Structure 1
Amino acid sequence: MPSAPAAVHHPVFARVFGRLAAAGERSGLAEVRSRVLADVAGRVLEVGAGSGVNFAHYPPAVTEVVAVEPERYLRGLAEQAAGRAAAPVRVVDGMAEALPAGDGEFDTAVSTLVLCSVADQARALSELHRVLRPGGRLVFWEHVRAERPPLTVVQDALDRTVWPLFAGGCHVGRDTAAEITAAGFAVEHMERCRMPDTRVPLPMAPHVIGTARRE
């Protein structure tokens, strides 16, 4: 396992994020999470578990979830959520760029709304590839770079200035779908959508949902 980068500490954002995640569940994101995780099975590594909002949506085919969360306050919330989950969940400290797991340990890796904020996206995806067994699946739901201007111009401007500072390191303009392929995954299925689907598209609205296989 590679050495870990510096620890994540976003005390203000973490508290806001915890409240926003809970509100999102009540406003319809719970249904999205259930759909994203419906076919997850076996031993699962979830990267960037946040406050643990995914835990309630893991299906019976999951035998264990190892949930990695580097932010201390969010990790505490995730540990509370793990105690309420039907699936067996173990919350651990760790970074996406240096996952605390051996090679090929997991059947499935789950990444939901986290690859936008990791310090090194290519390294994080390389780590997800490493910890999956051959044939293992990456299940992802991420907000991503828009497909065309002018929204891409706005995303780039935000990423260069204020957005990462106020949103816990989040970047709205990353081409995550391309990076998944570049990391050695074969995309099985991917759909693009907007959340929220407003009349004027928001910079954080373009999303991708899909699965990719480690070959």
Structure 2
Amino acid sequence: MSSEFKNNAILGPINSWMFKILSGYMNYLFGKSKRDLFKNHPETVVEIGPGAGANMRYLKKGTKLIAIEPNIHMHANLKKSAKKYGITLEIKTVIGESIDLPDNSIEFVACTLVMCTVANPAKCVEQIKRILKPAGVFVFIEHVKAKENTIVSFIQNVTHKPWHWFFEGCNTKRDTKSLLESAGFSSLSIEEYNSYSPFVPITPQIKGRAIK
């Protein structure tokens, strides 16, 4: 997440409340995809930007979640979600570009609808690769830049600044697909699709998994 938003005294609490309220609707939009991505996850999972803990419902009870969440205003709801779903929670108040975990130490990393907010997404992906064990898995769902000269591309351009301000630095025009393709994973599976909802700027999306 961009440093200007991670501990914003106004936006932080608002976003924490909003993400908690939207949890059910986001499950409606992304639940099937997330259940498929999180299937057969190991006992310990690292999540980049878990927010209020919406993805905990897809984890097995007793899972240890290492939450890389720099927004301190999310932490109270993270703890509530962990208690609700029976998750052992460890919160690290660091950004995705500087994860304080050892090299080759983690089997499974997840990141959903977060890479758009990271100030330096290439550095974040480097950190994910660094902490993954050989053959470790990174799963992701991200909205991406629309094709040029389309209606959605026009809407992304028009809404970019207010969207960026309100949604914790979210960039509606980030080309995360190209970033992942150039990251050097040994295996990469990406599905491109459109997710239709009232949130038009995030209609074009990708999901998949990468193996170190």
TM-score, length basis structure 1: 0.83
Structure 2: distance between partners of 1:55 and 1:13:
23
Q: Which runs of 5+ in 2 are unaligned?
A: none
After TM superposition, list the pairs within 5 Å mapping 1:147-158 onto structure 2: 147-150=147-150, 151-158=152-159
Structure 2: distance between partners of 1:136 and 1:100:
18
Cα shift at 1:134: 1.2
Cα shift at 1:197: 4.7
Mapped pair 1:10 → 2:2: no
Question: Alpha-carbon deviations, 1:134-183, whole Å to 9, x = none?
Answer: 11111001111113422334424544x33312221000111111111222
Partner of 1:24: 22
After TM superposition, list the pairs within 5 Å mapping 1:155-166 onto structure 2: 155-159=156-160, 161-166=161-166
Q: Secondary structure at the match of 1:178?
A: helix
Cα shift at 1:84: 2.3
Partner of 2:54: 53
Structure with the higher helix share, 1 or 2: 2
Partner of 1:99: 99
Structure 2: distance between partners of 1:153 and 1:30:
25
Q: 1:19 and 1:49, CA in 2 relative to 1: closer, same or farther beyond 3 A?
A: same
User: Percent of pairs identical after alignment?
Assistant: 23
CA contact (8 A) 2:181 2:188 kept: no
Q: Secondary structure at the match of 1:51?
A: coil
Mapped pair 1:88 → 2:82: no
Structure 2 residue identity aligned to 1:50: G
More deviation, 121-130/12-21? 12-21
Partner of 2:181: 181
Cα shift at 1:49: 1.1
TM-score, length basis structure 2: 0.84
Of the three residues 204, 210, 213, the one matched with 2:211 is 213
Mapped pair 1:36 → 2:37: yes
CA contact (8 A) 1:24 1:30 kept: no
Moved over 6 A (4+): none
Cα shift at 1:68: 1.1
Q: 1:90 and 1:178, CA in 2 relative to 1: closer, same or farther beyond 3 A?
A: same
Partner of 1:146: 146
Structure 1 residue identity aligned to 2:162: V
Structure 2: distance between partners of 1:74 and 1:136:
27
Cα shift at 1:99: 0.5
